[in-house]
Amino acid sequence: MSAGRMRGLARDRCRLHMLTWNVATAEPPEDVSSLLQLDVQPATDLFVIGLQEVSATPIRFISDLIVEDSWTHAFMDTLAPRGFVKVSSVRMQGLLLLLFAKQNHLPHIRDVQTTYTRTGVFGYWGNKGAVSVRFSFYGHMVCFLNCHLAAHLSNMLQRVDEMEYILETQDFESADAPHVLDHKVVFCFGDLNFRIADHGLHFLRSSINNGRLHLLWDRDQLLTMKKKEPFLQEFQEGPLNFSPTYKFARNSQSYDTSAQRTWLGFDGKKRKPAWTDRILWRVKPKILPSEEEDDRTSVTTDDGQDEYPLYVHQDKYTSDMSYGISDHKPVIATFSLEMRKCWDTPLVQVSPEGVWSADQDADLHYTVLEDFMSSTWDWIGLYKVGFKSASDYETFVWVRADNLPEVHETIQVTVDKDEVPLLGGNFVLGYFSTNMQSIVGLSASFEILESKRAVMEGLVPENLNGLHK
């Protein structure tokens, strides 16, 4: 189906913001908001953040398995007040991948799975490789791979082999999309480590300083290999109209062109700038842009799903030179995803009943609207508005423990008053599916009143709520 024909169909548009950054073991800066471009219009729906070389010393890595790492906290603390929730994260040594979604999209993000592939040092230490997250977004299967490939100018072919190995070997527990390339859209990004070959340092500097970046494209290793490797030809990338993002002197906007150090000492070669940090995407099946479309546009349909096409357009591809904590600069890409939603109703409807306060037991009810793989391990969380992730609940209750509900059967659940927040506030209820690893039903926002117990215990003034006077 052509993009022109698709535009004649009813469709929805979602905005995706992607970030890749090799942070070179640095701690996050005080403010990461400019990386996220939070005030841009139209507003963002999904954030996907891929970091490489997050500090992974043994003590740090073990602590990060117990609690969220500092980078995850920095992004959660910035995005949660804007109504974004961390849907998923995956970590392999220094590789970290984060997925955030606007709260209203949560019930429509399903079948979330993560995995990883090691490629460095015989695949043992995990210092190179890829981490991925895949999910169904309104019925469209999408996959994101955050990669860190082999370094150094001479290892171009090894990088290509590693990328192909990752794409071929990563798999998921899914009948619809068991392999990476089975997904309708795949984003492959990260520190891919491809360099600029042949050109000398003086020519590189001159081309960059004079804004003649196009003179360097024909020697960029990734662009060169795309002409030779069929699997790379399936991936698209916007034009490299931003300066190479590696290698910078720290806390500087100047390239570090000092001599390279090898295991045996200095080899005398000067470091050369390169576009190591990239964001690529692939649609299934690949349809080449027509004459009326540019190389930032693609459209795809799956066999048997012609009525549900997906249109991908890259709106921006750039870097942010203002951050200097790393020898890499962050790379940002934004996309418009136009699609016909395969469905737009939640699997579960959940609602509070009556007035909620910690002075009495509270009731809620939920109704399964469609048949799905529910479980007695599913639970309903009580979340304060602005919550950060599915685990950031005030309290939770298990769903019915005996027989699972039938479709359209309404089930009532009671929350003990001792579990209801004393201070009240604005909250939502979320039904979490353990099999889908996502919130598949979300209530409207509702108010929990400050309790009389809170007044008695001196947690709030007596005149804060008229009911407590």
For the segment 344-387, what is each residue's pLDDT rounded down to a tens digit? 999 999 999 999 999 999 999 999 999 998 998 999 999 999 99
Q: Where are the alpha helices (DSSP H) in 258-324?
A: none
Question: CA separation (Å) from 436 to 87, 90, 106, 375?
Answer: 11, 16, 12, 10
b/e for 245-271, b at 16 or more Cβ within 10 A? bbbbeeeeeebeeeeeeeeeeeeeeeb
The Cα–Cα gap between 383 and 230 comes to: 47
| Entry pTM | 0.90
The ranges of the chain with pLDDT < 70 are 1-10, 57-67, 120-126, 260-269, 285-306, 458, 460-469
The Cα–Cα gap between 432 and 442 comes to: 9
The Cα–Cα gap between 46 and 135 comes to: 12
pLDDT, tens only, 170-220: 999 988 899 999 999 999 999 999 999 988 999 999 999 999 999 999 999
Task: Tell me what the pLDDT averaged over the chain comes to.
Answer: 88
CA 325-23-87 angle, to 5 degrees, is: 125
